Amino acid sequence: MRRKLAAGNWKMNGGSAELTEIAGLIAAQPSPDCDVLICPPFTLIDRMSQAAEGAALNVGAQDCHANAKGAHTGDISVAMLADAGATSVIVGHSERRADHGESDADVKAKTEAVLAGGLTAIVCVGETLAQREAGETLAVIRAQLAGSVPADAPAELVVAYEPVWAIGTGLTPTLEQIAEVHDDMRAALVAALGAETANGIRLLYGGSVKPSNAAEIFAVSNVDGALVGGASLKAADFAGIVEAASAA
């Protein structure tokens, strides 16, 4: 039985005010029956980790460099993130793929760095609207998984399916469409990594998850949690999603 994961991705949003609201989230859900993670901007990781000490809240990062150290101005290593208190790193988010031209090979190298650093990698995949309309969704997701997930990935890996057209738009796939992709991702991971490892990997859905649709999404086959953008910035909304994950 895979424990559900409610993960928040603040993207380039949030500051001290949102950080203060986290105390409200912790108070609302002192011991949820799921794992809870927030990935704030780099600048807040250290302070959020301190605020979350002893609470059922883990803190993660939204990206990292593939190298351990060196002359990479403006970049950040996995060891630095761990030192600040991060336990997970999102890699290959579609906004990184689009804004920074990250390829599957880049995402795999970052995933390897995260795993080597002892942190949890959350590998993101997802099709564009044009790819879905062309009937290419499953092929696109399979190619991204094959290119981004290392051959020796452990069961602690997390994969997030985020249709690009559902991110920040209020649009979501039907529950059948989510099930189709998640079942196919599980099958692809079983073929690549073996059943024992693949069946431990948590598959998150992401894209316009909110308190009102979280419960039905968590009930879908092979959905083990959510990666939440906009709704994770409002403590009350994120608490609603955590509650749905706990009840699932």
Q: Minimum distance from CB of 162 to ligand PGA (Å)?
A: 6
156 is catalytic: no
Contacting range for ligand PGA; rule: CB under 6 A; set: 25-33, 35-43, 176-184, 229-237: 229-237
**42 Cβ partners below 8 Å, 6+ apart?**
61, 62, 76, 81, 84
**Closest CB to ligand PGA among residues 79, 216:** 216
Q: Is 230 in the site for ligand PGA (CB under 6 A)?
A: yes
Site string for ligand PGA, 166-205 (x = CB under 6 A): -xx-------------------------------------
Q: How far is the CB of 125 from ligand PGA (least distance, A)?
A: 12
| Cα–Cα distance measured from residue 243 to residue 236, given in angstroms and rounded to the nearest whole number | 10
**93 is annotated as an active-site residue:** yes
Q: Within 10 A of 72 (CB to CB), how many other CB atoms are there?
A: 11
Q: Which of 93, 102, 127, 243 is catalytic?
A: 93
Per CB under 6 A, which region of 16-24, 99-107, 145-153, 227-235 contacts ligand PGA? 227-235
CA-CA distance, 239 to 243, in Å (whole number)?
6
Instruction: Tell me how far apart the alpha carbons of residues 121 and 154 are, in angstroms, rounded to a whole number.
Output: 10
Distance CA 218, CA 240 (A): 13
Among 109, 115, 123, 227, binds ligand PGA (CB under 6 A): 227
Shortest spacing between CB 132 and ligand PGA, in angstroms? 16
**Smallest distance from ligand PGA to CB 231, Å:** 6
Strand residue runs (E) in the chain: 5-9, 35-39, 58-61, 88-91, 120-125, 158-161, 202-206, 225-228
The full length of the chain comes to 248
Instruction: Give the span between the Cα atoms of 50 and 183, in whole angstroms.
Output: 38
Q: What does the alpha-carbon distance between residue 202 and residue 4 come to, in Å, rounded to a whole number? A: 8
Q: How many residues sit close enough to ligand PGA to count as binding (CB under 6 A)? A: 13
Determine if 228 is a binding residue for ligand PGA (CB under 6 A). yes
**Interaction with ligand PGA in 203-222: which residues (CB under 6 A)?**
206-209
Q: What are residue 36's DSSP bridge partners?
A: 6
Of residues 150-169, those binding ligand PGA (CB under 6 A): 162, 167-168
Task: Just list the catalytic residues.
Answer: 93, 162
Residues near ligand PGA, by CB under 6 A: 9, 162, 167-168, 206-209, 227-231
